[in-house]
Chains A and B, each alone.
Chain A
Amino acid sequence: MAKIKYHMLVCGGTSCHASNSEDILKNLQDLIKIKGLDTDVQAIKTGCFGFCDKGPIVKMMPDNTFYIQVKPEDCAEIIEEHIIKGKKVDRLLYQGTASKENLSNSNNTGPHKKQIRIALRNCGVINPENIEEYIARNGYQALGKVLTELTPEATIEIMKKSGLRGRGGGGFPTGLKWEITRAVKADQKYVVCNADEGDPGAFMDRSVLEGDPHTVLEAMAINGYCTGADKGVIYIRAEYPLAVERLKIAMKQAREYGLLGQDILGTGFNFDIEIRYGAGAFVCGEETALIHSMEGLRGEPTVKPPFPSESGFLGKPTNVNNVETYANIPAIINKGADWFASIGTEKSKGTKVFALAGKINNVGLIEVPMGITLREVIFEIGGGIKNGRTFKAVQTGGPSGGMLTEKDLDTPIDYDNLIAAGSMMGSGGMIVMDEDDCMVAMAKFYLEFTVEESCGKCSPCRIGNKRLYEMLEKVTQGHAVMDDLDKLRNLSHVIKDTSLCGLGQTSPNPVLSSMDNFYHEYLEHVGNKKCRAGSCKSLMQYIINAENCIGCTLCARNCPVDAIAGERKQAHVIDQEKCIKCGACMEKCKFNAIFIN
């Protein structure tokens, strides 16, 4: 950053971008010019602050003031008050949910407490479209150190010692993966960055790519040096246009600075990167499917072995790592394996980025040390459940994971504990649910996703999941019998045991974990034809309370299927056989006479 008194950091992540953060940036820049402040103040666009629910965000440096839900028309006030008069604009400050105080210094702000930012160290701090800002924050120093001071073997040793495990979901030790790929002899090898973030509700990879693209490029080059590859490929979703654009800018700048391409830093090491696009297929997050997709084929997985480290992209040894894994690597090289290994639990080192979403107050990205509890994440960092409702469950690991409940709230989060609790780490999505969410319907929602995304290659996944989905549909519609619940469980185990790839092997997890934790809800759906959350439409009944109904006939006139009968000025009645549960009557009733049973 240049020698400037004030920096105004405007979030340019997708959420804030969608709420006009571009206009805010432009307004600020215009105002700075008009007021003649250009020598002292600078407004720049950064990556995601992880505070998406309260966007658009403007952060003032160096005093760390954090303005939320800023509108383009607020810019003049911020400049006038904060910059010129030195007074904070109170109404735009973040309001803590626990205490009702204004928190003006974001380092103490609720969601920032307990966080350690390693993978996200530069997100929201630097301008992702300027390589010099990355370099100023020790960028490309790790690559320089590795190329000039360390052998590939010594670097792999650091990675192994750090204890870093794959952040894409599997949790395979990164150093070991590199060592295996290095050991294979071949004329050509590849390193791949898996940026096909398909888990709905997880957006950490997108934030890293948008907020700090150079860290991924640097780490890929280090990976190439260690494994003996001179070509890197980033496989990225076509749904992330902003990330693609920033990656392209970063690659161009890195080449201009001699940090990618031929003879990097004069060491004789060659390495360059190209981008390949996904086209919307969840299964492509699986290594072998991803590689087939990069080759222009249908993204279907194949049996391992051979592992990609032996025969991957175009039949050559290929090392695939995920975006977040890469984002940790330069920090580990710079600060040392011992530093990294000192954070986290015995078997899971470092931090993990989670995307908090669903019924929670502070939706956004957080990076926390491994070993933190769900309670701390949801109630302290996340600010608790929205609208003062009661916590019911949290789904980790996306469609492959499971539901964790009240009893798991104090379990330290790491790879092994989550599996023991019947879920998994996955890519880091965390969807919080409250009492209004029906667990059977949630399981059905995830199954619908799996059915749609199953590639169809192996029958347990293709046919089995479809049958599972149909059974769940029967349950939510109140047509199921007790036998179906046993069938549901049996079929789930068969699919897990016999599917070809990780997608099918984990797809019944939401069903099994919801049955383990909320079996009573299944029983209620089947036995009493009741959905306690009131979310399964077929089990709902709209009923008119005769005491409140004055017989205005408004509901009867608005019913699309003529299910409501009654004389004028007499209480009306809904024919449950005819009712399609559209809710139009309840919406129209001015006397609160209609309720849901």
Chain B
Amino acid sequence: MAKIKLSERKLQELKEVCKSFNNDKGELINVLHKAQSIFGYLPAELQEVIAKELNVSVAHVYGVVTFYSFFTMTPKGQHPISICLGTACYVRGAEKVLEEFRRVLKIQVGETTADGKFSLSCLRCVGACGLAPVVLVGEKVYGRVSPDGVKDIVAEYNN
């Protein structure tokens, strides 16, 4: 696999973050949260840097990254779409909504569209069960989404 070149400026920012946590390995999860918000995802090359900064093995960092569903090793789309598959949304038809997103965007869960615009993922309960079924685009919450409404949501971000 080809190595990814990480931006120097962002790397500097990351090192500052590690320093602010005293390069303490107990703060690994906090560091990963910050790293993901700086870079958008956590590629292997980035994990090597973090391992070095916190003085732990790369395997240790990789183990933690892959354990938690919040962390991702693939870049997300410009507008990440997440469909809630919590129980409340499930019984109100979230699966059909997910299927429609798959059909409209022509990608599977965990993938990003070729133009890098959208990515599709599932999550478990954002706690807005009153609005079930719920879809998140970036930070914006869409409630009571029906399969028919999927096209409109995508169109909103497509111009």
Among A18, A199, A429, find the residue whose CB has the most chain B CB atoms closer than 10 A. A18
- Contact A53–B130 (Cβ < 8 Å): yes
- Contact B130–A280 (Cβ < 8 Å): no
- Contact B87–A280 (Cβ < 8 Å): no
- Contact A299–B67 (Cβ < 8 Å): yes
Among A54, A201, A398, A429, find the residue whose CB has the most chain B CB atoms closer than 10 A. A201
State which residues 67-83 of A face B: CB under 8 Å.
Answer: none
- Contact A276–B63 (Cβ < 8 Å): no
**In the complex, B114 has a CB within 8 A of chain A:** no
Binds A, one of B5-13, B27-35, B73-81, B150-158: B27-35
A294 to B: closest C-beta gap in Å: 8
- Contact A18–B25 (Cβ < 8 Å): no
**In the complex, A222 has a CB within 8 A of chain B:** no
**In the complex, A431 has a CB within 8 A of chain B:** yes
On chain B, the residues within 8 Å of A19 by CB distance are: 131, 143
On chain B, the residues within 8 Å of A277 by CB distance are: 29-30, 33
Q: Mark B56-89, 1 if CB is under 8 A from A, else 0.
A: 0000000110011111000000000000011110
Partner of A279, one of B27, B71, B125: B71
- Contact B91–A437 (Cβ < 8 Å): yes
Partner of B69, one of A279, A293, A355, A358: A279
- Contact A206–B127 (Cβ < 8 Å): yes
B103 to A: closest C-beta gap in Å: 9
**In the complex, B49 has a CB within 8 A of chain A:** no
Task: Report the separation of the CA atoms of residues A293 and B68 in the bound assembly, to the nearest whole angstrom.
Answer: 10
- Contact A293–B124 (Cβ < 8 Å): no
| Chain B, Cβ-Cβ closest to A399 | B87
**In the complex, B38 has a CB within 8 A of chain A:** no
Number of residues on chain B facing chain A (CB within 8 A): 36
Partner of B68, one of A51, A280, A449: A280
- Contact A431–B127 (Cβ < 8 Å): no
- Contact A449–B130 (Cβ < 8 Å): no
B129 to A: closest C-beta gap in Å: 4
Task: Report the separation of the CA atoms of residues A431 and B94 in the bound assembly, to the nearest whole angstrom.
Answer: 15
Task: Report the separation of the CA atoms of residues A238 and B26 in the bound assembly, to the nearest whole angstrom.
Answer: 17
Task: Report the separation of the CA atoms of residues A359 and B132 in the bound assembly, to the nearest whole angstrom.
Answer: 10
| Chain A, Cβ-Cβ closest to B66 | A298
| Chain A, Cβ-Cβ closest to B148 | A587
- Contact A297–B88 (Cβ < 8 Å): no
A24 to B: closest C-beta gap in Å: 15
Contacts A277-B29, A296-B25 given; indicate if A429 touches B67 (C-beta within 8 A): no
On chain A, the residues within 8 Å of B86 by CB distance are: 200-201
Partner of B92, one of A55, A238, A358: A358
**In the complex, B123 has a CB within 8 A of chain A:** yes
- Contact B91–A15 (Cβ < 8 Å): no
Contacts A296-B27, A429-B87 given; indicate if A203 touches B68 (C-beta within 8 A): no
Q: Mark A270-293, 1 if CB is under 8 A from B, else 0.
A: 000000111111100000000001
Partner of B29, one of A54, A198, A293: A293
- Contact B26–A395 (Cβ < 8 Å): no
B97 to A: closest C-beta gap in Å: 14
Contacts A55-B130, A201-B125, A203-B129 given; indicate if A357 touches B68 (C-beta within 8 A): no
Task: Report the separation of the CA atoms of residues A420 and B67 in the bound assembly, to the nearest whole angstrom.
Answer: 35
Contacts A358-B88, A359-B91, A363-B88 given; indicate if A280 touches B70 (C-beta within 8 A): yes
**In the complex, B104 has a CB within 8 A of chain A:** no
Task: Report the separation of the CA atoms of residues A431 and B86 in the bound assembly, to the nearest whole angstrom.
Answer: 10
- Contact A203–B125 (Cβ < 8 Å): yes
| Chain B, Cβ-Cβ closest to A560 | B103
- Contact A299–B68 (Cβ < 8 Å): yes
Q: Mark B99-118, 1 if CB is under 8 A from A, else 0.
A: 00000000000000000000
Contacts A238-B70, A239-B123, A364-B130 given; indicate if A15 touches B92 (C-beta within 8 A): no
State which residues 293-309 of A face B: CB under 8 Å.
Answer: 293, 295-300
Q: Mark A398-431, 1 if CB is under 8 A from B, else 0.
A: 1000000000000000000000000000000101
Partner of A280, one of B64, B69, B131: B69
State which residues 31-83 of A face B: CB under 8 Å.
Answer: 51-55
- Contact B91–A433 (Cβ < 8 Å): yes
- Contact A363–B130 (Cβ < 8 Å): yes
- Contact B29–A276 (Cβ < 8 Å): yes
Partner of B130, one of A15, A296, A429: A15
- Contact B87–A281 (Cβ < 8 Å): no
- Contact B141–A18 (Cβ < 8 Å): yes
Contacts A18-B141, A19-B143, A277-B29 given; indicate if A355 touches B91 (C-beta within 8 A): no
**In the complex, A320 has a CB within 8 A of chain B:** no
| Chain A, Cβ-Cβ closest to B56 | A296
On chain B, the residues within 8 Å of A437 by CB distance are: 91
Q: Mark A233-248, 1 if CB is under 8 A from B, else 0.
A: 0000011100000000
- Contact B90–A445 (Cβ < 8 Å): yes
Task: Report the separation of the CA atoms of residues A519 and B86 in the bound assembly, to the nearest whole angstrom.
Answer: 25
On chain B, the residues within 8 Å of A297 by CB distance are: 28, 64
Among B68, B69, B88, find the residue whose CB has the most chain A CB atoms closer than 10 A. B88
B152 to A: closest C-beta gap in Å: 17
Task: Report the separation of the CA atoms of residues A455 and B63 in the bound assembly, to the nearest whole angstrom.
Answer: 12
- Contact B67–A431 (Cβ < 8 Å): no
On chain A, the residues within 8 Å of B132 by CB distance are: 357, 363
On chain A, the residues within 8 Å of B63 by CB distance are: 298
On chain A, the residues within 8 Å of B124 by CB distance are: 198, 200, 280, 282, 449
| Chain A, Cβ-Cβ closest to B123 | A239
- Contact A15–B67 (Cβ < 8 Å): no
B39 to A: closest C-beta gap in Å: 16
On chain A, the residues within 8 Å of B68 by CB distance are: 278-281, 299
- Contact B91–A431 (Cβ < 8 Å): yes
On chain B, the residues within 8 Å of A239 by CB distance are: 70, 123, 125-127
Task: Report the separation of the CA atoms of residues A293 and B71 in the bound assembly, to the nearest whole angstrom.
Answer: 14
11 A–B contacts, CB within 8 A, in A order = A14-B126, A14-B127, A18-B143, A51-B130, A200-B124, A201-B88, A278-B68, A282-B124, A296-B29, A357-B91, A363-B132
The 3 A-B residue pairs whose C-beta atoms are closest, nearest first, are: A52-B130, A200-B86, A18-B141
Add 19 more A-B contacts to A52-B128, A357-B91 (CB < 8 A): A17-B141, A18-B141, A18-B142, A200-B86, A238-B33, A239-B125, A276-B30, A277-B30, A279-B71, A280-B70, A281-B68, A295-B26, A296-B28, A298-B67, A398-B87, A431-B88, A437-B91, A442-B91, A452-B69
Instruction: Give B contacts to A, CB under 8 Å.
Output: 25-30, 32-33, 63-64, 67-71, 85-88, 90-92, 123-132, 134, 141-143
